[in-house]
Amino acid sequence: MKKQTYLVLLLIFCIFSASHAQEPVNDSIIAIIKKHGLDQSKVMETAEMITDVYGPRLTGSPMLDKATAWAQKQLKDWGYQNVHLDEWGPFGRGWELKHFQMSCEAPSYWPIIAYPKAWSPSTKGLVKGEVVYLNASTIEDLEKFKGKLKGKFVMIDTLREVKEWEAPLAKRLTPEELLDMANSPAPTPRGRRGNRNFSSGREFVQALRAMLYEEKPLATIDRSFKGDLGTVFVSQASAKEGQSRDEGAEVLPQVTMSVEHYNRIFRMLAQGIPITLSMEIQAEYTNKDGMEHNIIAEIPGTDLKDEIVMFGAHFDSWHTGTGATDNGAGSAVMLETARILMETIKESGIQPRRTLRIALWTGEEQGLLGSRSYVKKEVGYTDDNDNLVKGKDYEKISAYYNLDNGTGKIRGVYLQGNGEVSSIFRAWLDPFKDLGATTLTLQNTGGTDHLSFDAVGVPGFQFIQDGLAYWSRTHHSNMDNYDHLVADDLKQASTIIAAFVWHTAQRDAPIPRKPMVTDTVKN
């Protein structure tokens, strides 16, 4: 009986031990990281420089070049090595707005809230003209406007109904939402996109564009599909052919107006009341060589120095705010992570086993251009036949960590379908349960630079974040400014990412990789 009892107890102990055998966590290092990340944070000082001083940071603009120079100096001052620019391109010409004003002149005067789209050209001084609503949905409808648009402001959108907000603009993820994410199954691999028939819509857009460039109005005016209370969501102008950033591309002045002012003009035109506007754009095309740059810096490793842990965010922004939540927040957090890691090394006396490499990407807003170029050159790519071609760093990179969903605190990690890392990340999240970071989901998330790594089978991760007012107010808008950054959230994010980077660098094995679905692999 005693022997049976002993065996049962031994079995229970073994089961208990196995269930708690998990990824090691260095509690003393966590304590140091928390001290520098939470109690002695510099993240808001960094964010202020990125946004107030060096914002906005449109790719190709002189301000991005200034921000890039500042970031390099800061990393060198912190003791980082191999600080350099990774050139990519050609991107095309840059653009810098020097001056803009727009107002209604008749039937009464009032200033208009509006912004030129990036890469809109200058006007010939202050221009004035009547407003025409281009009410057309078919190629046949366009005929009645031919010969009537030159010297006019052309409104191309319909009226948009605005409703008062009854729900809060900013919200955090609820326990129920996080539970749903945690319980989500592995994502289904994406198949090839089939050919879809968009011919009729495409033909109309092409005919509309051709007519506008033939007529040459003073400007086209639209209003974005969301935004109110003076918030305007603006991106880039379209060109007659190709991209507006292409050297020599013909681009008409294009303006996005606040919905309230757009609707006011629209309603008066519908009543038959003539409207006259005035506008002036002073802009310069810059960056004549068309090349752009990512920022790279390192802390060399020790016994596993040939292996790499990467962390980064995109440094570029759009042009109407100062690029605070998109993505000054992520860039400030990653720079703060870099600082925390260096302070941790100094205080602990422990060097990272793997090389730590920070990357600040540019061209993200135009399609992940900077990170995609880097990955193709240094990591790998799939050729036209879906064959994986490995680069020199393909086997060396253990993981890449990214942050780019606003100012909200980290609530967990998107695993991108990589279930093998679940137990590892669970152990690394446990010390931060009191900071609200508890959730792991197999779900994918898209739209930012971790996808460049994930696409070639290198573990790339984006963190789950509280949305706050990112999508409703600040993302790509004129309200994307420092004032909408949440200091405690950025401190929390910097601390957690520093811990993830550190433990990735110190573990014996690299982060497990999920299967890469390709036809063949080439070295």
Distance in angstroms (rounded) separating the CA atoms of residues 11 and 431: 29
Q: How confident is the model at residue 21 (pLDDT cuts 50, 70, 90)?
A: low
Q: Two tokens at 15? A: 């089961």
- Is the confidence at residue 97, as pLDDT, over 90? yes
Helix (H, G, I), strand (E, B) or coil at 135: coil
- Mean pLDDT for 343-359 is 98
- 453-482 tens-digit pLDDT: 999 999 999 999 999 999 999 999 999 999
Average pLDDT of span 394-407: 98
Three-class secondary structure of residue 258 per DSSP: coil
What confidence category does residue 18 fall into, taking pLDDT thresholds of 50, 70 and 90? very low
What integer pLDDT is reported at residue 285 of this predicted model?
97
Domains of the chain: 25-92+289-522 (3.40.630.10), 94-162+198-286 (3.50.30.30)
The runs of H, that is alpha helices, within 469-509 are 487-506
Q: Is the CB of residue 416 less than 8 Å from the CB of residue 460?
A: yes
| Band of pLDDT at residue 22, cut at 50, 70 and 90 | confident
CA–CA gap between residue 31 and residue 319 (Å, rounded): 39
pLDDT in tens, 210-268: 999 999 999 999 999 999 999 999 999 999 999 999 999 999 999 999 999 999 999 99
- Provide the mean pLDDT of the chain: 93
* Model confidence pLDDT, tens digit, residues 274-323: 999 999 999 999 988 999 999 999 999 999 999 999 999 999 999 999 99
Once rounded to an integer, what is the mean pLDDT over residues 336-349? 98
SS3 category, 500: helix
Residue labelled with tokens 């999508």: 471
Q: pLDDT tier at 517 (50, 70, 90 boundaries)?
A: low
Contact 160, 223 (CB under 8 A): yes
How many whole angstroms separate alpha carbon 367 and alpha carbon 89? 13
| Structural tokens at position 377 | 């050159």
Query: What pLDDT is recorded for position 414?
Result: 98
- Give pLDDT, residue 7: 40
Confidence at residue 201, expressed as pLDDT on a 0 to 100 scale: 83
Band of residue 99 on the pLDDT scale cut at 50, 70, 90: very high
Q: Both tokens of residue 487?
A: 């200091």
Higher pLDDT, residue 50 or 386:
50
What is the pLDDT, as a whole number, of residue 13?
A: 35
368: left (phi over 0), alpha (psi -120 to 50) or beta: left
Query: How much is the pLDDT for 10?
Result: 37
Of 265, 319, 302, residue with least CA distance to 130? 265
Take residue 217 and report the two structure tokens written for it. 């109005």
Label residue 521 by pLDDT band (50, 70, 90). low
Write out the two tokens for 330: 């992520």
pLDDT of 143-201, one tens digit each?
999 999 999 999 999 999 999 999 998 999 999 999 999 999 988 765 444 444 445 68
Q: What is the pLDDT of residue 522?
A: 59
Residue 183's CB is within 10 A of a number of other CB atoms, namely 9
User: Tell me: the pLDDT tens digits for 105-141?
Assistant: 999 999 999 999 999 999 999 999 999 999 999 999 9
